[in-house]
């Protein structure tokens, strides 16, 4: 028997960073995203969004590639959003996925929970670049928002 405990901080934005996520139905989006995580044998721990991006802290089982899971999370949620709330929504092709140790889980959870306050001072573009830099992810800025 293998023993795993894999926590991920996932971040993805709307195509071209267009603010399409409404506070009027964001709670429904959280539930829908959480359902997709659970359908993949995962546990949604914290989900929050801003008008142009989403943060998810989730515990995932190592049963499928993370890229496959994110493709399904984004595809399923965008189809649902287009059908129920926002016909123009599309997610960016790219995403951020950062591993989180259990000892840092509460810090990341609080960070996600406080997105509304956090973004009064910092734009998503700057937040995302800071996350990449903190996790030592090399990036070329011209490919960040495609």
Q: What is the pLDDT of residues 65-123, one digit of tens each?
A: 999 999 999 999 999 999 999 999 999 999 999 999 999 999 999 999 999 898 888 88
pTM for this predicted structure? 0.93
Which CATH number applies to 6-143?
3.30.70.1290
Domain locations in the chain? 6-143
Question: Rounded mean pLDDT of 5-13?
Answer: 96
Q: Is the pLDDT of residue 145 over 80?
A: no
Length in residues, the chain: 146
23: DSSP letter:
T
The two structure tokens encoding residue 132 = 């990449």
Strand ranges (E), 1-146: 6-13, 43-50, 53-60, 96-100
User: What's the confidence (pLDDT) of residue 1?
Assistant: 67
């Amino acid at each position: 028997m293998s023993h795993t405990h894999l926590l991920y901080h996932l971040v993805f934005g709307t195509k071209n960073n267009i603010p399409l996520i409404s506070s009027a139905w964001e709670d429904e989006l959280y539930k829908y995203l959480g359902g997709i995580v659970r359908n993949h044998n995962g546990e949604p721990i914290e989900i929050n969004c801003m008008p142009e991006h989403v943060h998810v802290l989730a515990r995932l089982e190592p049963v499928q590639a993370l890229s496959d899971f994110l493709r399904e999370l984004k595809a399923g949620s965008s189809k649902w959003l287009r059908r129920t709330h926002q016909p123009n929504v599309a997610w960016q092709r790219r995403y951020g996925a950062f591993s989180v140790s259990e000892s840092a889980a509460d810090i990341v959870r609080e960070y996600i929970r406080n997105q509304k306050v956090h973004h009064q001072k910092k734009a998503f573009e700057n937040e995302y670049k800071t996350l990449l830099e903190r996790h030592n992810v090399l990036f070329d800025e011209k490919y960040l928002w495609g």
